[in-house]
């Protein structure tokens, strides 16, 4: 029986399937002041409010802009129902264009806000957590397509991807490109549903509230399950 071939001490070790950084990088907040984007968003919202009185024929579309800010912010607000609702009243391309542009504007503030929060000393433990570093390494394999997928598919939440993209110091222009592609596809599908199957607004509101309650319940149960091992320890 042949003896096993000795391994040279200088031989390189096999590459890991997924390289995990020892710590997530520090986010870099933008150079502009923290009040610039809130003032811009407030100004756009004010102009839309004025437009509802100046051009009342399209008041639904004007209110869609600030609601897009709210629905795509860091707050958990049901938004898809509004796109379905408007699909009955406006051409598909109008709903997609207005919704996507408003979403891209609020996403700039989302990324700025997250970069300022995650750069604080209080977020150091979160940046050093193993799960955070593992998720960041997984995201780095296909960052652009991951963002497009979470923006386009309703079943995949986009909230965690904002945090990961901020920690990865992902280019804001590339991030906005992924948002533009993903959200356009998503809004086109939702508006098409509203065009093909007109649904009463009351039903859409009730359905959105039901989905919100289910999401909050699932998040609460997940947090409770995570707290059980810590209590037992």
CA distances (Å), origin 157, targets 6, 90, 100, 148, 162? 50, 27, 17, 12, 10
Max CA pair span of the chain: 92
What's the pLDDT tens digit per position in 120-160?
888 888 888 888 888 888 888 999 999 999 999 987 788 88
- Contact present, 151 and 181 (Cβ < 8 Å): yes
Total count of residues recorded for the chain: 233
In this prediction, residue 183 has a pLDDT band, given cuts at 50, 70 and 90, of: very high
What's the rounded Cα separation, in Å, for the pair 135 and 173? 22
Among the listed residues 177, 115, 94, 103, the one whose alpha carbon sits nearest the alpha carbon of residue 143: 177
What's the pLDDT tens digit per position in 30-63?
878 888 999 999 999 999 999 999 988 889 999 9
Mean pLDDT throughout 108-127? 89
- Contact present, 92 and 189 (Cβ < 8 Å): no
In this prediction, residue 20 has a pLDDT band, given cuts at 50, 70 and 90, of: low
- Contact present, 164 and 139 (Cβ < 8 Å): yes
């Amino acid at each position: 029986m042949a003896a096993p071939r000795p391994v040279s001490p200088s031989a390189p070790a096999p590459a890991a399937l997924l390289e995990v950084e020892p710590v997530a990088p520090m986010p870099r907040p933008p150079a502009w002041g923290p009040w610039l984007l809130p003032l811009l968003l407030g100004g756009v919202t004010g102009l839309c409010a004025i437009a509802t009185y100046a051009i009342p024929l399209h008041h639904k579309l004007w209110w869609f802009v600030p609601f897009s800010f709210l629905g795509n912010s860091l707050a958990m607000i049901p938004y898809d129902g509004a796109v379905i609702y408007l699909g009955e009243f406006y051409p598909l391309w109008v709903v997609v264009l207005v919704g996507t542009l408003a979403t891209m504007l609020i996403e700039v503030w989302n990324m700025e806000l997250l970069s300022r929060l995650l750069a604080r000393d209080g977020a150091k433990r979160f940046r050093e957590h193993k799960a955070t570093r593992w998720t960041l390494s997984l995201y780095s394999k296909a960052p652009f397509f991951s963002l497009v997928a979470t923006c386009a598919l309703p079943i995949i939440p986009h909230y965690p991807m904002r945090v990961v993209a901020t920690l990865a110091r992902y280019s804001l222009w590339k991030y906005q490109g992924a948002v533009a592609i993903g959200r356009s596809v998503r809004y086109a599908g939702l508006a098409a549903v509203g065009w093909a199957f007109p649904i009463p607004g009351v039903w859409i509101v009730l359905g959105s509230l039901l989905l919100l309650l289910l999401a909050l319940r699932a998040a609460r149960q997940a947090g409770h399950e995570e707290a059980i091992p810590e209590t037992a320890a």
